[in-house]
Amino acid sequence: MEIAKVRSVRGYFYLFILLISVLMVGCGNHDSEKNHTPKSVTDYAKIKVFGEEHATLTAPPNVPPPVGNRPAKKLFVEMEIVEKEGEMADGVTYMYWTFGGSVPGSFIRTRVGDVVEFTIRNHPDNKLPHNIDLHAVTGQGGGAEASFVAPGQEKTFSFKVVNPGLFVYHCATAPVGMHIANGMYGLILVEPEGGLPPVDREFYVMQGDFYTEGKFGQQGLQPFSMQKAIDENPDYVVFNGNVNGLSGDNSITAKVGENIRIFFGNGGPNLVSSFHVIGEIFDKVYLEGGEQFNHNVQTTLVPAGGSAIVEFVADVPSNLVLVDHSIFRAFNKGALGILSVSGEENKAIFAGAIMEGIYQPEGSVIQNMPKNELEIEAPVNLSKEEQIIAGKNLYMQACFACHQPNGEGIPNAFPPLAKSDYLNADVDRSIGILLHGLSGEVVVNGKSYNSIMPAQQMNDSEIANVLTFIYNSWGNSGKVITPQMVQAQRK
């Protein structure tokens, strides 16, 4: 009997230990993934405010300073609506409707529990009434009804932010789609208690789709096309309001080893974004701008009217390319940007090319680029200056992804056009490459390249313009190429 009792006690003891172990493992997994049960809206609504503060607003790609560990406050936000003409692409302008004068609109940074007193002003020179619907607001229309304001008027309304996350805001005045399509969207961040973990650099990027009467790249002021918007057939899909919003002089920069956070939003109004950074992997993605996150993500889906927070470390020096991985949007409609990372190379992570050779399987041919309905009809009989402008526009459509906006090319892949001895030595050869393509090894500025350049389906004027732009850029010879020179080579 005594032995039986001892065995019984031991059995209960082992069962108790097993139960405790299971609970500890469960709690450990729970904490490590941060899948905690969030506070309710009621809990956040009870947070008391201490003091007042005027919010710092920033235009993209800049972000206001982090909230940190400050208490909830009464936060004063002031924003002006401005209708103004701006650049959509080189030689192409558009009448944007903006929050704060930029597309996307000013970035708003708050923390959960803040009471926001929001003043919105409609510039007296504007033609239309507007309002603002903030997805971070719990209330009628996200504040749209309380903020409806005519030109020359202002409105002030108040709300408490009771859900942490990254939220889109946009105009909700009828026709709602048209107001959004003209650039009326932005992001409001509601940081959790204690703030987001610190990082080295933060950037503000939003995607939008634009609908114009003219085709992609068609010069001049382009009006909005309601029919294309209804058909969901945009001419432009861009980051931060225009084709060059994140490239060239507008490229963003970082250094090797820095932890980077991008607040990414999709204003729409129609398309879903497949956000991807070529040359990096997202270490962390806050899914749909909320509290839950995933690790080691290649491409994240961001719906129209949605957002995501992505974080990664810049591991090696490179020009990281931000794209919508619905890839024709990137290379043919403008959804492309550059994050230039400088610093020491790390061969353990990326060694670059380690061997080169020639591979020509039987039947290899130079490919032709097909014509399509978006092809630009370049004008003829242009001055040199006009050729350069038209050629730059073509270059930014068809050439810059491989040869880069600054003509430097991509090491070990695509040769540079900047200060190119190969290019400057023979104009007719350059024309022939665009007409007929090029394969096999070439030496440019003392370095060997062995890739394929497809034949470009451009007319004589287009080839003359793009080559004139190239020859008059980046330290090249300054030569002018005429359509007659191209025609002679074509024959």
* Gap between the Cα atoms of 226 and 348, Å rounded: 52
The token pair that represents 39 in the structure block: 């506070």
Position 339: which residue type?
A: L
Ligand-binding annotation for 130, yes or no, is yes
CA quadruple 275, 200, 167, 228: dihedral positive or negative? negative
* Gap between the Cα atoms of 337 and 246, Å rounded: 4
Type and span of the H or E element at 178: helix 176-181
- Among residues 209, 118, 131, 127, which one has the least CA distance to residue 174? 131
Contact 320, 270 (CB under 8 A): no
Ligand-binding annotation for 295, yes or no, is no
Ligand-binding annotation for 135, yes or no, is yes
What's the gap between Cα 227 and its chain centre?
26
Q: Say how many CA atoms lie within 13 Å of 340 toward its Cβ.
A: 11
Ligand-binding annotation for 171, yes or no, is yes
Ligand-binding annotation for 170, yes or no, is yes
Instruction: Print the SS3 string covering 91-121.
Output: CEEEEEEEECCECCCCEEEEECCCEEEEEEE
Q: Roughly what angle, to the nearest 10 degrees, separates helices 460-471 and 384-398?
A: 100
The token pair that represents 3 in the structure block: 């032995």
Sequence-ordered list of residues with C-beta below 8 angstroms from that of 56, at least 6 positions apart, any chain = 64, 65, 109
The token pair that represents 122 in the structure block: 């409609």
Which string of b and e fits 357-381 if b means at least 16 CB within 10 Å? eeeeeeeeeeeeeeeeeebbebeee
Contact 256, 346 (CB under 8 A): yes
Q: Say how many CA atoms lie within 13 Å of 95 toward its Cβ.
A: 12
Q: Which residue has the tokens 């992001």?
A: 187
- Among residues 212, 225, 219, 229, which one has the least CA distance to residue 177? 229
Sequence-ordered list of residues with C-beta below 8 angstroms from that of 21, at least 6 positions apart, any chain = none
* Gap between the Cα atoms of 402 and 318, Å rounded: 14
Contact 172, 133 (CB under 8 A): yes
Residue 328's CB: how many other CB atoms inside 10 A?
12
Annotated binding site for Cu cation: 130, 135, 170-171, 179, 184, 325
Annotated binding site: 130, 135, 170-171, 179, 184, 325
